[in-house]
Chain A
Amino acid sequence: MVKLILRKNEYEVRPGMTLLDALKKNNILPEGVIATRNGELIEEDEILKEGDIIKLVAAISGG
C-alpha cells in the first residue's frame, strides 16, 4: 500500500495510481498541498509505488 500523510491525518491508497488520483480519492485539493517523497517534490502525474510514504505539506497558512 501507499501511505499519504497530511498533518495528523493518514490515508492509504493502492499502488499504481497517480498522485492526482490518490488526492482526489481522499478529497484532498491538489491546490492546497505539495507532495514530497523521500524529501523530493513530486507532481500530480507521478505513479505511486508499493511502500511509498508521501508527505503532503499544507500550503495554506494562517498567522
Chain B
Amino acid sequence: MKCRICGEKASVNMREHKLALCKEHYLEWVPAQAERSIKKYGLFTHNEKILVAVSGGKDSLSLWDILQRLDYHAEGLYICLGIDEGISYSTESQRLAEKFASEHNLKLNVVDIQKEYGATLPQITRETHRGRIKPCSVCGLVKRHVLNRVARDLAFDVLATGHNLDDEAAVLFGNTLSWSGEYMLRQGPMLPGSSGLARKVKPLCRLYEREMLAYALLRGIEYIYEECPYSRGSTSIYYKELLNRLENDRPGAKLSFYLSFLEARKTGLFTEREKIQAELHPCFRCGQPTSAPGLCSFCRLMERINPLPVHEGKI
C-alpha cells in the first residue's frame, strides 16, 4: 500500500476515507483534520486560552500535542482520582502526563481529589449507592465538576477534551437506543458556555479512535495503555465493539452515523434547545450551576462521603 501523496510505503490505511498515508504525511494530516473541525464548528481561536483535560491516555495527550503544534495556547489539567487497584493506574497516568508536559515545555495543572475533597474515586464508589452500581458515571460527574471549577477559577475561555469519533458514536448509539432526546440535544463538537459553565469542545470528534492511536504511536507519545480497572465490561466499550463490527463491514459507517446526526439536528429534526433547557441555579455549597435549587449533583454525592463543608481549593 502506497502513500497517496508521495508514493512511499504507507503506514496508515484509512478505509473510511479511502486514503493511505506514510508516516510523514499522516502526521500532517491529523492536525489538519483537527484544525478543520476547530474552524468548521467555531470551537476556539488563537486568541483564546484553552484548558485541555489530560488523562494520560492517547487521545488527550495527542490532543494537547496537536494544539501546541497548531500554535494554540493550551494548558493541561490532570485530575488525580486515586485509582490504583493494584496496577498504579492513577500514579502511572499522572507520571505520563507530567512527562509529556515537561518534554514539551507545557504547563500542567494538577488536582488531587483526595487532598481537595477528602476521598479518592474508589472510596466514593464504595461508599455511595450510585458509585457501586455506576462507577463510570460517578467518575464523569467528579471530572466534569473539577474541570469546570478549574476553567472558571483560572479564567480559561474553553475546556477541550480528547473525545474521538468512536467515543461520540458510542454515546450517540446509547442515547439512540433509549431515545434520550435531551442528551442528544447537548451532544456535539461544542457545548456553548453559559453563566458559570465553561464552553466545552471536542476537536477530535471527527477522528477515529484507531486514527488517534496511530497518531500517538507515530508521534512517539508515551501514554497509559492499561485500561481503567473500572471501565472493564462497561457499556461504552461494548457499544464501541458493536460499532467496530459495523465499521468493519461498512467502512465509514461510524463517521456517517455521527455526521448525519449533527446534520439532522441542525436541520431541526429534534426539539429546539430553548424549549427544554432547564433554568440553572447556583449550588448552595460550591456555587457551580445546577438545574435544581439546592446542592448540585457533585455536592450531593460528596455530602455522603464528607458531611463537612467541601474545600474548594485553588490549584
CB within 8 Å of B: which residues of A? Answer: 29-34, 36, 40-41, 43-45, 57-63
CB–CB A41/B237 < 8 A: no
- Could you tell me the distance between the alpha carbons of A56 and B231 in the complex, rounded to whole angstroms? 20
CB–CB B228/A59 < 8 A: no
A-B contact count (CB 8 A): 70
CB of B241 within 8 Å of the partner chain: yes
Chain B residues with Cβ below 8 Å from A60 are 166, 209, 237, 240-241, 244
CB distance from B275 to the nearest CB of A (A): 34
CB–CB A30/B217 < 8 A: no
Count the B residues whose beta carbon is within 8 Å of the partner chain — how many? 36
- If over half of B's interface residues share one DSSP class (helix, strand or loop), that class is named, otherwise mixed; here it is helix
A45's nearest neighbour on chain B, judged by CB, is: B1
Interface residues of B in 40-61 (CB under 8 A from A): 55, 57-59
- Could you tell me the distance between the alpha carbons of A59 and B166 in the complex, rounded to whole angstroms? 10
CB–CB A62/B237 < 8 A: yes
B139's nearest neighbour on chain A, judged by CB, is: A63
Asked whether A29 and B1 contact (CB < 8 A) given A36-B217, A59-B209, A60-B240, the answer is no
Asked whether A63 and B214 contact (CB < 8 A) given A41-B12, A43-B1, A43-B10, the answer is no
CB of B245 within 8 Å of the partner chain: yes
- Could you tell me the distance between the alpha carbons of A56 and B304 in the complex, rounded to whole angstroms? 43
CB–CB A63/B55 < 8 A: yes
